[in-house]
Structure 1
Amino acid sequence: MAEIRLHQLAHSYSRQPAGEGDYALHQLEHVWEQGGAYALLGPSGCGKSTLLNIISGLLTPSHGQVLFDGKSVNDLSPQQRNIAQVFQFPVVYDTMTVFDNLAFPLRNQGLDEGRVRTRVEEIAEVLDLGALLKKKARNLSADEKQKVSMGRGLVRDDVSAILFDEPLTVIDPHLKWKLRRKLKQIHEQFNITMIYVTHDQLEASTFADKIAVMHGGRIVQFGTPRELFERPRHTFVGYFIGSPGMNLIDVRADAGGVAFGDVHLALPDGLRERLAATNAGRLQVGIRPEFVQMWDAPFDGALPASVLDVEDLGTYRIVTLVLGGVSLKARLAEDRPVPAAHAWVGLPMQWLLLYVDDVLLEAVP
């Protein structure tokens, strides 16, 4: 197990990058603590697989260092780094049995057969592969092959970290939840540093204790699933996480707060002071659809809105509203009545976030 630190790390696939646009990864400073379960979350092309391959040693960064427990590993091969990597498509030796696939890394280390058998059987039990040990790998299903691939990383007790690159992409949806839970169980049992790359927020939040959200070659926020949901520090995090994502509304500074259309939103003193002292660019307010209040009758602080559309998704409804000339979504429980044409809407201040040029503006302490 290892602490993994990125120091001034950047990478370009161009031999002579002419500017920021030529970089897949922009300068990063980041730490994954020893024994943690982490996710790298973001859309295709954001740089997450590039970053994972740099950590594993499959790719050499253009700038900066990767440090394991404070020591640079830039010049070390993946084998020398003691990294196990599980890829999107299972990597197994089809002509070997499951037992021999799991034993392969240990035999390469020269372990005696007694220790090999003990360790293989231990890992096979954890991954529910015990009944398949004598079976040829070519006869396995996709999820069984992926478990074998995971097992080859787990079977060694000297690995610094296990890296997962979209490991459940080829797995049938009804089996994904089983493997996600199995990975979590493995982490709890072995306390290995794990970094899991995915574009799926559900996979990230059910596996990881902390998630690094990537956008445009940068880590824009690192936090717990709850922190990312309740207090996204970048508009991309608000948009990318959630179903649907955060409502983001362009606003203008106004006396005592901000406004859009004919709607005025008062700001707390501390936030208003911070806004006044900021060289404001683009201003936006954000609020999760879950936190938008909606009723068919006026209530304290309510604003009149029109109901544009209702999408029934079984356990909840997504209501699209028009407020102050702006489209807004509310997420309601399935048993909540939805007004036919007009509604009264509340935007609770404790859940209303203010962004300047996409970055969360914090109140004066």
Structure 2
Amino acid sequence: MTRIDLDLSHSYRPDPQADEDYALLPLKFTFNDGGAYALLGPSGCGKTTLLNCISGLQRPSHGTVSFDGRDVTAATPQARNIAQVFQFPVIYDTMTVGENLAFPLRNRGVPAAQVKERVGRVAEMLDLSASLDRRASGLAADAKQKISLGRGLVRQDVSAILFDEPLTVIDPHLKWQLRRKLKEIHHEFRLTLIYVTHDQTEALTFADQVVVMSRGRAVQVGPADALFERPAHTFVGNFIGSPGMNFLTGAWHDGAIEIAGRRYMPEFAPTVAAALQAAGSFKVGVRPEYLRLAASTDPQAVPARVERAQDIGTYWLITATVRDASGHAATVRGRLGNEGAALRAGETAWLSVFNRHTCYYVNEELVA
């Protein structure tokens, strides 16, 4: 496997002038040897462009791509020794499942005994052993995609294996199984895996490190718990989680935080207070999981108008509105226990939003 170092940007325009002209804004990042990474973000954020720059299908308009310290910016995918699995199956319908899996190895002159052993092992991992002698043309789309995954995994000598939303055509239950299989395969072989997806569940369950992307920029890189607990940007807070993080507009006034015309004095470090005071205006972020009902007499509770309360089965999802002094409405959602059953649309709920999980953002970026 290989360490991949990126120092690049990319624009599909010949003379980019503004950030909007770039598919990838300047990025410096290292994919460590044997790591499992996910590139996560909405459609059009630059995930596939970045993946193609790594594989050699796209040459970056600026900067370099290095494998183990060797500049491969101008090298072809073959020269980079990359395996890539695409969104839709790329297989030979006229071949059997076993022949498809063996093709990358036979094409490189691997001895027949090694081919048989490796194909058998990968087929067993992907539950394809019973189908090895079947012609691929008669298989369903999800089975064909499993063959594509197998073709990417069958080689042991690759620099890295790149996945471009490979589970799009897969049945939801099978997706869960294949994510688990890929995780097991990574732990066993310590392959360098880079996985592109817009599905946060796929990214957070598969990868050790997740690169969250927005508008061509890598907004935050980290493990799942860091992305959930301390989103570095409001975009990450909103994008990660179901529902995403709640944000309330706050202002610093006479040594306290003011929200919806009420003043609060939560506990936080003096450096945080100094940053909020210097900013004047900021956002307070709290996850629905950490929102709690409070008594109307609680000085730290924020009043909110209940819009609806939904019984999800294992919890109640409440949707409420908090209005600031100027009348601007912010929607907040909370995941509550049985206490959510007592809430009715139109009434006022008092919400506790300040706790050790609360985040504070100035100019959309985390200060604490």
Deviation at 1:334, TM superposition (A): 5.2
Partner of 2:144: 145
1:339 is matched by which residue type in structure 2? L
Structure 1 CA distance, aligned partners of 2:151 and 2:254? 62
Task: Decide whether the 8 Å contact of 2:179 with 2:206 is kept in 1.
Answer: yes
1:88 aligns with 2:94: no
Unaligned runs of 5+ in 2: 325-329
Structure 2 CA distance, aligned partners of 1:303 and 1:15? 51
1:282 and 1:85, CA in 2 relative to 1: closer, same or farther beyond 3 A? farther
Deviation at 1:117, TM superposition (A): 1.4
2:31 is matched by which residue type in structure 1? W
Deviation at 1:304, TM superposition (A): 3.6
Task: Decide whether the 8 Å contact of 2:161 with 2:191 is kept in 1.
Answer: yes
Q: Give the TM-score normalised by the residue count of structure 2.
A: 0.92
1:330 is matched by which residue type in structure 2? G
Structure 2 CA distance, aligned partners of 1:229 and 1:331? 15
Partner of 2:333: 329
Unaligned runs of 5+ in 1: none
How many residues are treated as equivalent by the alignment?
Answer: 359
1:43 and 1:78, CA in 2 relative to 1: closer, same or farther beyond 3 A? same
1:359 aligns with 2:365: yes
Q: Give the TM-score normalised by the residue count of structure 1.
A: 0.93
Deviates more, 1:348-357 or 1:70-79: 348-357
Deviation at 1:317, TM superposition (A): 2.0
Partner of 1:57: 56
Structure 1 CA distance, aligned partners of 2:355 and 2:15? 49
Partner of 1:318: 317
RMSD: 1.8
Partner of 1:4: 4
Task: Decide whether the 8 Å contact of 2:249 with 2:282 is kept in 1.
Answer: yes
| Equivalent residue runs for 1:126-165 within 5 Å | 126-165=125-164
Aligned residues: percent identity? 53
Structure 2 CA distance, aligned partners of 1:229 and 1:117? 43
Structure 2 CA distance, aligned partners of 1:142 and 1:237? 33
1:216 and 1:293, CA in 2 relative to 1: closer, same or farther beyond 3 A? same
Deviations 1:279-304 (A, max 9, x none): x3862111111111114664563344
Structure 2 CA distance, aligned partners of 1:201 and 1:225? 10
1:3 is matched by which residue type in structure 2? R
Structure 2 CA distance, aligned partners of 1:27 and 1:289? 34
SS in 2 for 1:53: helix
Task: Decide whether the 8 Å contact of 1:296 with 1:342 is kept in 2.
Answer: no
Partner of 1:68: 67
Deviations 1:245-284 (A, max 9, x none): 11112222222233222122325322112334x4x38621
SS in 1 for 2:258: strand
Partner of 1:44: 43
Structure 2 CA distance, aligned partners of 1:197 and 1:141? 23
1:197 aligns with 2:196: yes
Partner of 2:276: 275
Structure 2 CA distance, aligned partners of 1:209 and 1:91? 27
Deviation at 1:52, TM superposition (A): 0.5
